[in-house]
Each structure stands twice: as C-alpha cells, then as structure tokens.
C-alpha cells in the first residue's frame, strides 16, 4: 500500500488504537477486539513480547483491511524489522532522525513523538509525516491550539489522555488524528476483550458525531 494511501487512511479514521500487552497472545486478542469494534488503525507497541510476531499475525489475518503500525520504536534497526514484518507506519515516543530516515527509505509513515515546538520542527525537518504530540494529557487539547498558532502546517496527533468524552476537543483545537491507549484497550489487561470491543464502538460512534 502506498504511503499516501496509509496517510489518507489515518486521516479518514481519525484515530490509532494502541495495543500494549504482557503477552503476544493477549496483544492479538486486544487487537482483534479493537477491529471488531471498528477501530482499524492499530499501533502494536514494542513493549509487547514478540511484537514482530504479533504484527505478522495481524497482517496475515487482515491483509490491507487494517492499517497496522509499530509503536515505541526507539531506533532504526527496530523500525526496519517492524517494516519487514508488515508495519505501515512507525511511531516513536521521541525524535530519532535515523529512524525517520529508515521510514522514508522504505516509504513508510514516520510518526515520531514530540512535545515542544523545537522538537516538532526538528521532526518535520527530518521528514516526519505526522508528529505524535506526547504525552498530550500533560497540557490538554488547548495545547494543540497553541502549537498550531506558530505551526499551522504541522500535522499533529495528540496521544495520551484521549477519551470518548473529550475526543471532539482535540479535533476542535487542530488535531488531524488521535492516538488512543488505555481508554480503549485498558480492559484487555484483565482479559475483558468484550469491553474493548464495546469501547471501540463508542469511539467510532463519537468520531462520526465529531465529523458531522
């Protein structure tokens, strides 16, 4: 799938669900629960055991129907391994220009994490496609609006603290998409995958309302 198509797919969905688990089996279950609820852009965090195996499993099961990325990617070696396992986008907690370069080499979306204007500009200059504003809960939706004033061209995806209740605020303040972690997949840590699916449906419904 072309990078531009993946970028457009994330814009259309408006959200990336974060999958993080203590075992690969649980990660796959959480991902499947999210997909069942309609959240079809997913980041599998590299804090999960056998992340590469999880990526391969999900790619084999869902093909191009699910946008699949790797998260918590700290270096270019990990990025390349994830890309070879089927990741279509690479998300990092910080800015590593070598990781961004690998993504550009393979025409995969680079989505580094940044918080300050300096970090965001550094990421964009290095070739970032979307900047993950993290940890967004430290300042809230108003911070996105503040960043957009001097950086109206920056494609920002706040991650951290996004809930069904405040979803619309992030977009009203200039986000192009959001990353959703515990408020979506949290029940999966206790094996309650039905609750993950229910929450996914709530997010999808609220996103439709926000888009109206």
Q: Which residues are known catalytic residues?
A: 43, 132
Q: What is the DSSP string of 39-77?
A: --EEEEETTSTTHHHHHHHHHHHHGGGSEEEEES--SHH
CB atoms within 10 A of CB 142: 10
Q: Tokens at residue 94, please? A: 């910080």
Residue 110's SS3 state is: strand
- Interacting residues of 138 by C-beta distance below 8 A, sequence separation 6+: 115, 160, 161
Q: Are 179 and 158 in contact (CB under 8 A)?
A: yes
Strands (E), the chain: 15-19, 41-45, 67-71, 89-91, 109-111, 113-114, 131-133, 156-158, 178-180
- Nearest Cα neighbor of 112 from 181, 150, 124, 104 is 124
């Amino acid at each position: 799938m072309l990078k531009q198509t993946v970028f457009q797919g994330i814009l259309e969905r408006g959200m990336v669900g974060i999958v993080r688990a203590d075992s690969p089996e649980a990660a796959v279950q959480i991902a499947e629960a999210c997909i069942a609820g309609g959240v079809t852009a997913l980041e599998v965090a590299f804090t999960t055991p056998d992340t590469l195996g999880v990526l391969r499993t999900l790619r084999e099961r869902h093909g191009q129907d699910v946008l699949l990325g790797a998260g918590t990617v700290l270096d270019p070696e990990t990025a390349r391994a994830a890309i070879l396992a089927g990741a279509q986008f690479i998300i990092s907690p910080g800015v590593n220009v070598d990781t961004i370069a690998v993504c550009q080499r393979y025409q995969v979306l680079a989505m580094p994490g940044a918080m300050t204007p300096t970090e965001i500009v550094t990421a964009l200059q290095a070739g970032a496609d979307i900047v993950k504003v993290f940890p967004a809960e430290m300042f809230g939706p108003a911070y996105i609006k503040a960043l957009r004033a001097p950086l109206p061209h920056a494609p920002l995806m706040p991650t951290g603290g996004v809930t069904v209740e405040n979803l619309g605020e992030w977009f009203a303040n200039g986000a192009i998409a959001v990353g959703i972690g515990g408020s979506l997949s949290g029940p999966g840590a206790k094996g309650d995958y039905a609750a993950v699916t229910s929450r996914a449906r709530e997010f999808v419904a609220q996103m439709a309302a926000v888009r109206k």
